[in-house]
Amino acid sequence: MAIRSVLAPKVEIPRSLYLGLGAASVAVILALWCLLTYGGITPPDFLAAPHLVVEAGIHRLSTGSLIDDTEASLTVILAGFFFASILSVPLGILMGSFKVVEALIEPITGFMRYIPVSALIPLLILWIGIGVEEKIMVIFLGTFFQQLILISDVSARVSKDLIDCSYTLGASRRQVIWRVLLPACMPGVMDNLRVTMGWAWTYLVVAELVAANSGLGYMILNAMRGLFTDVILLGVFTIGILGLITDMIFKFARRWLLPWSAEF
């Protein structure tokens, strides 16, 4: 394939080239990491060498601490994201489709989505305590209002001509909602859930900032106090890998559950 055609916008490239470019980018980062650490450019306390991170991972896997921390973090992430999504999807679709719902919800949503979740932690501790419920609520608040505004925007962009055409063909209001509006919204909803799942992972360290005794965020914060950069990088890579897995799950679910949607 010619270079000009590869660099053209919206043009597909061979799968082998796609995978090769992805592998090359990872190899460049890994080579730079090795150069900085094994070349003596950076001290170990500043950036641990790759083999030290691997050794830290093997040690924590053998003791079971990495698995326990991963399970604790997954519980917080999945619970907070589930409760946020199960509320934001129907509310967001209603908000984007019915002006009366938008008028009721938009002022609160517009206010809350600009408040840093970390600023609410003292109140959450007072109201909920320092248990796992407080951590789940941090994830919930960090994703719910963002999901709500994104999903309402997806619903608002559904063509009114499509709705009017359905009425013209004899569809009832219930049929328009369930057979036209919802199927038209769901591809965008799935894409936004996939994006906000990434945001949920970024709130993990904030969620485990207070009174945590397990979790990947706790592991990173605890290692930071002792300047154990190998453990910090291990936690970061673990979160990145888990995030990549959840992203792939959303991609698969979109293709499987929404076969009528266009693939982007």
Domain range list for the chain: 61-257
Report in angstroms the alpha-carbon separations of 57 from 43, 64, 226, 245. 20, 10, 17, 18
The whole-number pLDDT of residue 254 equals 86
The whole-number pLDDT of residue 264 equals 42
Residue type, 65: S
Q: Are 85 and 193 in contact (CB under 8 A)?
A: yes
Cα–Cα nearest to 77, from 177, 231, 199, 171: 199
- For 98, other C-beta atoms within 10 Å of its C-beta total 12
Supply the pTM of this predicted model: 0.85
Ranges of H-type helices in 14-64: 15-38, 50-63
The whole-number pLDDT of residue 114 equals 86
Per-residue pLDDT tens digits of the chain, which is 264 residues long:
566 666 767 777 778 888 888 889 989 999 999 999 988 888 888 888 999 999 999 999 999 889 999 999 999 999 999 999 999 999 999 998 888 988 999 888 888 888 888 888 888 888 888 888 888 999 999 999 999 999 999 998 888 888 888 888 888 888 888 888 888 888 889 999 999 998 898 888 888 877 677 888 889 888 888 888 999 999 999 999 998 999 999 988 888 888 877 554
| CATH number for region 61-257 | 1.10.3720.10
Contacts of 96 (CB under 8 A, 6+ apart): 102, 151, 152, 153, 154, 155, 156, 157, 158, 185
Task: Sort 243 into a burial class: Cβ within 10 Å, 0-12 / 13-18 / 19+.
Answer: middle
